[in-house]
Structures are given as C-alpha cells and as structure tokens.
C-alpha cells in the first residue's frame, strides 16, 4: 500500500484533519484497527520532528513487511506536542518522534505520552536508553565531539570540552549559535555534571576563543575548519558521517580533511544525546504503533537506521557501519537524559550571560 505523506501545518489544522480523514478512508478505517493490525493491516499515525530520508525508508520497509500504512505528520517538536495537548482524546497521533532527551521529557511532562508496554522493546533497548517509566525509548544516539583540522591539529593536543577555553585555542574555536538545541543540551549536561557557576565560566571561555561569531549548522563548522577560519569545532559525529557519504563532492572533501575526537575520556565522558519515540497518550492504533517501535528498535531496523544516518544504534546487537567501527569505543556521559530538559532554561540563561550569540 502506498504511503500517505501528510504535510503538517498548525495554521491549517482543519485541513490536516481532513487529509487524515481521507488517508483513513483509503487505508480502510480511522477507528482503532486492532482487529486489522492482527492481520497485518491498518494504519499508524506518526507525529515526527525528525526529517531524515532514512526514517522514510524505514517506514516503507515496515509497510512492506506488515501491510500497515505509516502516515507521517511533520512539524517542530514544540508544535506537535502543543497540537497533541490541544486535541486531547481526539488527537490522531499514535507515535511521537523527536530528537533530544529534554524534548522527550517535555512531551512526557505535557501529558501527551503513555507508557510503552512491550517486552520485545525492553529487550531491544537497554534500560539506560529508556525513560524510567517507559514513556519513551531511544531510537538512536549521537555524540557531540570536537572536530579538528587534520593538517593543523593532532589528537594529542585535545583532551576535554573544558580545555577548549585554554589560551592556545584563542581565535580557533567554532560553534553553532546559542539558540541551537544541541548546544543547549551540551551546556545542560555540563550544568548537571559541574554546576552552574563552572558552566558559566566555561561558556565565557568558549566565547572568548571563538574565531568568528556563531553561524550556520554543524556542516558549516566543518567547512569553516577546512577554509582556515578556525581549527576546532563542536559538532555531532553523524554530520561527518553524512558528509563523507554525500553526493556533493565538496562536502566529501571537507569531511576527509577533518578528524573526530571524543573529549573527556579521562573524566566525565563525551556528551551523548538521543533521538527517541513515544507512544501517544490517546493512540487509536496502539497495537500497530507498538509494532512500529518494535521494528525500529530491532536489529534489522537499527542497522538500517545507523547505515542511513550514521547515528549510533541503541540496540546493542546491531552491527555498526565500518566508519563508526573505525571511531572506536568511547566513554559516554552518565546522566539521565531527562535532565537535559530540566536544565534547558538555565542553560539558555548561562549562554546569554556569556554573550554566546
């Protein structure tokens, strides 16, 4: 059955509802199709803030295996959560997918998720990558690391996030803006580990060592390194993997000229964040929703995901792509991902105080 791609728009909520109604009529039924799902049919409505091609490919594969149609409703995480809150029991959402542990915690605290009850999922995803009451589970993780110019920096010159404030990095550090959630969550993790005062001083030290005002995304930081604008950048690992496998020859060239360093291996470990999935509080296609989570967290699903996105799989049985194997094992921060949300407001305040633009 062909997938129905549904374009999300909060400004046209009624139109979206009508579209969903049309999808349901084409797919068979809008009611909770538990009888149909047992026969490998029906639908599952996924509210997603992830917009990666590999996700779409996974949904296609799931449809082929089960006959269950995946309807995607896209938007920002905040928009989707607010819509689910507003619509309450009438919400079409069966699943919610987003990036960042703090955002997943926000969804739970907003009352739009319910516990995921599946021994299969519990077996696929380790406890530390599941919310303590099972309101969400991680689909993938990503490390926020130090990326460096291979021709100007050697790994033995690097050590910790904190060391990037040293005088030797004056005018050599690159990063995205303070409005970027990845940076906010990194700072939130440092607040959890080191406290507010120390984290504020770190933020000021990073700002003092910037080679330019923050601009662009993670890929732009790598490009700036190769252009000689800076020597080191704070980036997520998967961007380097995606650039190395890009159809754009210039992106490949950039990625080939930067190295990845996992900081804080002798101290608190490298900052890790997640992409995750939660079961909607009023899911009308609950059985189908659980089947999709089970597939996405299975060995097969996880290998498909990591080979497409170069994020780290959360199922420990999944085989890593050769690139990720080459990066080797590394020590990870040991914190509750929910704390990224708890400390987000304070992290934003500290970044503003530090004049991190």
Class level of CATH domain 5-140+273-320:
alpha beta
Report which of residues 214 and 19 the model is more confident about.
Answer: 214
pTM score, whole prediction = 0.84
Check whether 239 is labelled as a binding-site residue.
Answer: yes
Which CATH code for domain 142-271+327-353?
3.40.190.10
pLDDT of residue 40 exceeding 50: no
Check whether 238 is labelled as a binding-site residue.
Answer: yes
What are phi and psi for residue 280, nearest 5 degrees?
A: -60, 145
pLDDT of residue 343 exceeding 50: yes
Are 172 and 205 spatial neighbours (Cβ–Cβ below 8 Å)?
A: no
Q: Summarize pLDDT for 62-97 with one digit per residue, the tens.
A: 999 999 999 999 999 999 999 999 999 999 999 999
Of all residues in the chain, the percent with pLDDT exceeding 70 is 89
Smallest Cα–Cα separation from 33: which of 277, 278, 289, 280? 289
Read off the pLDDT band of 265 (50, 70, 90): very high
Of all residues in the chain, the percent with pLDDT exceeding 90 is 88
- Residue 38's pLDDT is 33
Indicate the burial class of 38 (C-beta count within 10 angstroms; 0-12, 13-18, 19 or more).
Answer: exposed
Cα 153–chain centre separation: 29
Give, rounded to a whole angstrom, the gap between the first and last alpha carbons of the chain: 48
Write down the domain spans for the chain.
5-140+273-320, 142-271+327-353
Taking the CA atoms of residue 209, residue 215, residue 217 and residue 221 in that order, the dihedral angle to the nearest 10 degrees is -40
Read off the pLDDT band of 30 (50, 70, 90): very low
For β-strands 113-114 and 258-261, DSSP reports them as unpaired
Mention every residue, 6+ apart, whose C-beta is less than 8 A from residue 92: 17, 20, 45, 73, 284
């Amino acid at each position: 059955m062909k997938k129905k791609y549904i374009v999300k728009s909060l400004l046209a909520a009624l139109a979206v509802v009508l579209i969903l109604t049309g999808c349901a009529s084409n797919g068979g039924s809008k009611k909770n199709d538990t009888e149909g799902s047992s026969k490998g049919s029906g639908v599952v409505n996924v509210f997603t803030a992830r917009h990666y091609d590999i996700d779409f490919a996974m949904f296609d594969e799931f449809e082929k295996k089960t006959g269950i149609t995946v309807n995607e409703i896209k938007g920002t995480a905040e928009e989707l959560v607010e819509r689910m809150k507003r619509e309450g029991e009438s919400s079409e959402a069966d699943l919610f997918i987003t990036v960042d542990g703090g955002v997943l915690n926000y969804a739970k605290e907003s009352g739009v998720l319910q516990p995921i009850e599946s021994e299969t999922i519990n077996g696929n995803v380790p406890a530390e990558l599941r919310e303590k009451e099972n309101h969400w589970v991680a689909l993938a993780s990503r490390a926020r690391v130090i990326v460096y110019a291979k021709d100007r920096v050697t790994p033995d010159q690097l050590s910790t996030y904190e060391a990037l404030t040293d005088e030797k990095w004056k005018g050599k550090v690159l990063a995205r803006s303070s409005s970027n959630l990845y940076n906010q969550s990194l700072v939130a993790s440092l607040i959890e580990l080191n406290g507010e005062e120390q984290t504020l001083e770190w933020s000021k030290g990073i700002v003092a060592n910037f080679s330019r005002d923050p601009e662009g995304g993670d890929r732009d930081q790598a490009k700036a390194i190769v252009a000689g604008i800076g020597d080191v950048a704070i980036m997520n690992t998967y961007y380097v993997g995606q650039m190395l496998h890009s159809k754009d020859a210039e992106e490949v060239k950039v990625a080939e000229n930067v190295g990845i360093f996992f900081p804080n291996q002798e101290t608190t470990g490298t900052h890790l964040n997640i992409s995750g999935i939660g079961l909607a509080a009023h899911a009308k296609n609950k059985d189908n929703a659980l089947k999709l989570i089970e597939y996405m967290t299975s060995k097969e699903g996880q290998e498909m995901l990591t080979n497409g996105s170069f994020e780290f799989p959360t199922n420990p049985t999944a085989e890593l792509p050769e690139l990720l194997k080459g990066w080797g094992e590394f020590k990870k921060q040991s914190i509750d991902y929910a704390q990224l949300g708890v400390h987000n407001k304070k992290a934003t305040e500290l970044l503003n105080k530090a004049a991190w633009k």
